Amino acid sequence: GWGENDRGVSFTFGGDVVRQFLRRHDLDLVVRAHQVVEDGYEFFAGRELVTVFSAPNYCGEFDNAGAMMTVDDTLMCSFQILKPASAAQQRSAFGSGRTGTPGRGAGGR
């Protein structure tokens, strides 16, 4: 069924709602985003809905992985996982003193 979320600004739904939606629209799977999930992707409703979230270490507040999903010609879904960088890796990348990428035509010619 349907329910109101904790903040009162949107709704929650159960597996029955997912199955009804899939039947009504002759679909096999719902793919959604915009919700942090720990492993980058998460199935729901008997694997009839998957949440994919591509931003690892979201806002520096979550230790979540990110994921990218591909679907092949046989409709097989596969996932590439983006692990969050460690704090040391982040400091190294952002505090290295490196400048940004030069624009077109800059350097080397």
3-state secondary structure 46-108: CCCEEEECCCCCHHHCCCCCEEEEEECCCCCEEEEEECCCCHHHHHHHHCCCCCCCCCCCCCC
Tell me the pTM.
0.76
- End-to-end alpha-carbon separation of the chain, Å? 64
Over residues 52-76, mean pLDDT: 96
Distance of CA 5 to the CA centre of its chain: 20
Grouping H, G, I as helix, E, B as strand and the rest as coil, residue 28 is: coil
Grouping H, G, I as helix, E, B as strand and the rest as coil, residue 42 is: strand
Find all residues with CB under 8 Å of 62, minimum gap 6, and list them.
Answer: 36, 38
pLDDT at 62: 94
Reported as a single tens digit per residue, the pLDDT across 7-58 is: 888 999 999 999 999 999 999 999 999 999 999 999 999 999 999 999 999 9
Reported as a single tens digit per residue, the pLDDT across 2-21 is: 999 888 889 999 999 999 99
